[in-house]
Every structure is written in C-alpha cells, then in structure tokens.
Chain A
C-alpha cells in the first residue's frame, strides 16, 4: 500500500535529532522531513531548520512606507484644510513628526504580524501531519510523500532512532 507519510514520536530532542539524521541518511529530501514539537529547540540543528526570513527587513520597509504615507496624509490634509494655530506653520514639522513616528511603529507592527501569519504556514504535503501527543511534550519526526518501496526503510530508521511509536498515514488522511 502506498503511504503518504510516516512519522515517529520521540521523548526528547536528542532522539528527535537522531531521527532527523537517519531520515536524511535514508535519502528523504529536507523539504519532506516534518518536525513538530510543543516548544522550540534552538540548540539543536533540527530546531534551526528553515530559520531564514526577511521579516525584520519587511518590518523596516513597512515602517518607512507607513511613516511616509502618514506624513503625506497629514501634510496634504493641513494644506487642503488650513487651520492657523498659535502662529505655527500650516505644515508644522515637529507636530507632524510625532504622528509620522507613531505611524512608522504601527506599520512595523502590522507588517510583522502579517508576515508571521503568511510565512508560518507549512508547505503543501506536510501540513496534515500531526499527532495530539505533541501537546504532551513528544516530538514528532516524520517524512511526507513516502513512496511504498521506501516505507519500510524509513520506518526502520525512525524506530532505530528511539521512537515510542511509528505511524503511517494514508494519502489524504
């Protein structure tokens, strides 16, 4: 039978790392290796996978754009509806700077949030692999898109790494 995914549950990050290494040795492409845990493991190589992101730069860019748009909004409004106040110029750089500053920050905050929501999604094919035991502290390591002829080999690799249990799921499960 053709299995879509095979995964094992591991009690600690050491055994999870061994499982990831074993899957790589078994020829599973990195994009098809699935790791799911209830906490981050930055001190282990598997926890640092896929960590490159443009999020900080996007936040900076969004901040600059929001600030620029905010300043233009304020300045054009002040010119369109002039309100002479206290002898200040109609477009007053100091007060407008306060609003520009706040909008820079708001732009960076919203961009960070949106980037997180958009980029944290799992790749196609791996998104359905999950086990409720993860919430209890187990670490799930598995492989997506497993071909039938490789299934036994991958199951053995996961088991030898110290899995509590190894589970295979059918396509579309």
Chain B
C-alpha cells in the first residue's frame, strides 16, 4: 500500500504522518493531570460547594419535617420556585446532548474539546432538574405513585396527564444522555487504567469494561455513537416540549398556547449554550486547559448563542404581540402584570439579560472574546431563570377571577434549596473531573491527526489557516492551530 502526497487542485493530499510521541504524551499529561493529582484549591472548592449542598439537604429535611407550609407557595400560586428550578435545569440540560449530537452529526471538527464538557452538563442538570417534582411534593416519600406499575390499590397513573409524560420523557432522556456521555469515555478510562496504580487501577479496570481498542471495538463504538446522536436529538426536543405541555395543556391565561413547545425548546438550547460556555470558561481556568479550549471555541459557541438570543427575542415578541392583539381579558391581566405591574421589574431585567446585554456583546466581533461570551452567558443564565419564573408565577397569580388573584414571595427554604442546586452542579462537576478526562483524549488525538495535512500545507505556505482542510476536505483551521501549538513548532493564532 502506498500513500502519496501532493496538491490535488483543491486541497493538500498528503500522508497522515504520525503525531510525534512528545505531542501524544503531552496531551495525555495535560488531560490526565486532574485525575492523578489533587490540589489544595480543589479540596477548598469541593468543601465549599459541598457545604452549600449539605445545607440545602438539611433545609429540605426541615421542609419534609414541617411540611410545605414553610414554602411561599399558596393558593392560587401552587407552583413557584421549585417548578421554576425544574424547568430551568431541564433547559440547561439541553446544552450538552443536543449541542454535542448536532455537532457530531454535522462533523464540526472544532467540537472535540467541547463535547464531553457539554454532555456532562446534560446528565448533571437533568438529574438535578428531575428531583424537583419530588422535592415539590407535599409527601415526597410517595413519589412512586407516579411510576406506572401494577398496583393492588388500583391507583393507576393517568396516562393522559402531561405530568406522567414527563416521567417517560425524562427517563428516556436521562438513559440516553448517560449512555451518550459514557460511551466515548470507555476508551479514555482504558488509557487511565494503564497509568493508574493501586485502587485506581482496579477501579478503571472495571470501568473500562475490558476495552482494548481493536478495529472491531472502535467501529462498534463509532456506530453506537452515531445512532445515539441521531436518537438523542428528537428525544431532547421532545423532553422540553413535554415540559412545556405541563403548562400549555392547562387552560391557564398565557399558558394555553401552541407556541410553548418551540418556545421552551429554543429557550432550553439558549440557556444550555450559556451554561456550557460558563462551565468551559471555569474548566479552562481551573484545569489550565488554555491550549485546548481556545478562543475559537468560545467564538463559535458565541455565534450560536447570538442566534439563539435573536430567536428567543423573536419568540417573546411573537408571544406578546399575539396576546396583546387578542386583547382577551384574562390574558391581558397577566400581560399587564408583567409589562407594567408587580412583575414588570423582573420582566425588563429578563429582556435586558437575555437580549439587551448579550446582543451587542455577541454581535460585535471585537467583543465576542472569552470574557465577552462569559459575561453574556452569565446574564443569560440569570435571565433565563427569571423567564421560567415569569412563565409560571404571574399566570397563576392572575388566573381569571380577580377575587382569586394572589401573590408570591419565596421563603428562605426555597432560596436555600435553589442555591443548593447550583452548588450541586458545581460539586458534581468537581467530582466528575476527578474520575474522567474532561476532554475526550482519543477524539482529540483523532482531530489532531486529521489536521496534519492542513498543518503541512501551512508549513509550505500553501494555504492560510482559514483555508486549511483535513483529509476529507472539511475546514479544520481550529484544530490545526491547536496541533501546531501543542507541537510548538508554528506560531500561535
């Protein structure tokens, strides 16, 4: 067999020379360092978030002991902070699997350092979000009444209830997301297995499921990943659509709308990308992954975020304009409560956070830096939480008959449990990076190897980075720069 190189007329076709051993070792060292060594800062950070989580758990225990009278919910605002958290975290969970699956199917080569970080967010956010319907229950120990199983009490769940659809949707999504996260980790755990000692070696031997890396295993893994990517996208879309139906199926003012499905899905992707950018920025700083999570990744995700910000604004305008034009009295009560009533400050903060601040930061190229995208993402996360709150509470507080109007003010219990969920996200992430390389080692190496033709072309001054292609002709400038930097032979961007 022979591999010959040369200019094919459109791109360089040259042998895929090997990555030198130093580069391979450096990639391993950089990405396995967090697993092998634990700094004092790590313990401090873990203890801090762990303490907040424990406090939240204790407060939840207090709520169970005293009953949900300790919450701010009341008649008619039965759903408030906890259901806001449920919708918010399920939305954040769309960051990973959906983005990762779309980028995989689109063969976006810059995805490689990003995907695992995103997939982990999905699993953690979904786990946190799925707890809230249980936390919200007056008697949480009876949550299994929701599970469809043969019961001698003849209390059968009503399959026509959207709350039961949630059970099926979230179960499927959680199963799919965990599978989607774990499959590409197996080869990396095999690498860790060979480097670890003692109990860690035994642990990773079990976790790597006897992975060796035969062509048969690689082909099966990649086929499975491809199927999962195809399956997980419609599941992710359905999950948040069904979450939206928890509201839209009820004849409550400003809930009973056909726009809710796509509106929720768009909002979920929007907040998910913002959450992903924040997580990436933290990991980049804390784990010293500057060479891997590059400005290019933030720039590309920033563009996606810009598109979603515009889409979110479109949905808000479409929803508000339709309501205002219809001028239906019960809906207008909710409309005005949010536009210029008690909820107006929150509404305008939401618009500012989701559109006013992010739009210029993301639209102007000079501002779309790492700092710019992080600021935009931070405001979006806040804005999207407020958006979820404004979907739920004003509609319940202004439901039809004025004598039944109510108000809502959260108590310290709800605030503490909500803070605990953000700390839980941090804690889960901290634990995750101790056991799993946060960037897929094997996928990164595949990407680096694929850029070698592009890198060679650059060295021959035949093509600028922007025109670099891999062997299959796909644009690959980002990883070509990464490869060059890791090999320390060509200048930085």
Contact = CB atoms under 8 A, between A and B. Distances in A.
Contact of A51 (B168, B215, B227, B471): B215
Contacts of A132: 194
Interface stretch (B38-46, B175-183, B270-278, B391-399): B175-183
A166 to B, nearest CB: 19
A144 B231 CA distance: 38
A68 interface: no
B1 A53 contact: no
B224 A116 contact: yes
B445 interface: yes
A27 interface: no
A48 B215 contact: yes
Interface string B254-291: 00000000000000000000000000000000000000
A134 interface: yes
Nearest to B3: A14
**Chain A interface mostly helix, strand, loop or mixed?**
helix
Contact of A40 (B28, B154, B165, B218): B218
B175 A109 contact: yes
A112 B220 CA distance: 10
A13 B22 CA distance: 17
A136 B25 contact: yes
A135 B215 CA distance: 15
B212 A130 contact: yes
Q: Which of B16, B231, B238 has the most CB of A within 10 A?
A: B231
Interface residues of A, number: 66
Contacts of A17: 1
Contact of B238 (A56, A83, A102): A102
Contacts of B217: 120, 122
A14 B213 CA distance: 17
B449 A39 contact: yes
Given A39-B446, A40-B446, A115 B16 contact: no
Interface in B195-220: 195, 209, 212-220
B52 interface: no
Contacts, number: 183
B36 to A, nearest CB: 14
Nearest to A60: B227
Contacts of A102: 165, 168-169, 171-172, 235, 238
Nearest to B447: A39
Given A55-B227, A85-B160, A105 B212 contact: no
B466 interface: no
A95 B165 contact: yes
Nearest to A83: B158
A14 B222 contact: no
A45 B1 contact: yes
B154 A81 contact: yes
Q: Which of A45, A56, A103, A135 has the most CB of B within 10 A?
A: A135
B173 to A, nearest CB: 9
B488 interface: no
Interface string B438-460: 00001001100100000000000
B242 interface: yes
A99 interface: yes
A112 B235 CA distance: 15
Contacts of B16: 13-14, 43
B73 to A, nearest CB: 25
A49 interface: yes
B219 A50 contact: yes
B230 to A, nearest CB: 9
Interface in B24-54: 24-25, 28
Contact of A55 (B18, B24, B156, B220): B220
A102 B214 CA distance: 34
B221 interface: yes
B212 to A, nearest CB: 5
B17 A113 contact: no
Interface string B3-29: 100000000000111110100110010
Contacts of A50: 214-216, 219
B175 A106 contact: yes
A47 interface: yes
A56 B165 contact: no
Nearest to A106: B172
B59 interface: no
Interface string A113-131: 1011101101000110010
A105 B234 contact: yes
B227 A112 contact: yes
A92 interface: yes
A38 interface: yes
Given A95-B159, A109-B172, A122-B217, 11 more contacts: A35-B214, A39-B187, A47-B215, A55-B220, A95-B165, A96-B159, A102-B235, A116-B221, A119-B216, A127-B212, A135-B191
20 contacts: A12-B17, A14-B16, A14-B18, A39-B445, A40-B222, A41-B215, A43-B16, A51-B215, A81-B154, A83-B158, A98-B238, A99-B164, A102-B165, A102-B168, A102-B172, A106-B172, A108-B231, A109-B175, A122-B217, A136-B25
Interface of B: 1, 3, 15-19, 21, 24-25, 28, 148, 154, 156, 158-161, 164-165, 168-169, 171-172, 175-176, 179, 183, 187, 190-191, 193-195, 209, 212-224, 227-228, 231-232, 234-235, 238, 242, 442, 445-446, 449, 471
Interface of A: 11-14, 17-18, 21, 34-43, 45-51, 53, 55-56, 59, 73-74, 77-78, 81, 83, 85-86, 88, 92, 95-96, 98-99, 101-103, 105-106, 108-110, 112-113, 115-117, 119-120, 122, 126-127, 130, 132, 134-137
A-B pairs with lowest CB-CB distance, top 10: A12-B18, A135-B194, A40-B218, A137-B24, A102-B168, A51-B219, A106-B172, A81-B156, A50-B216, A95-B160
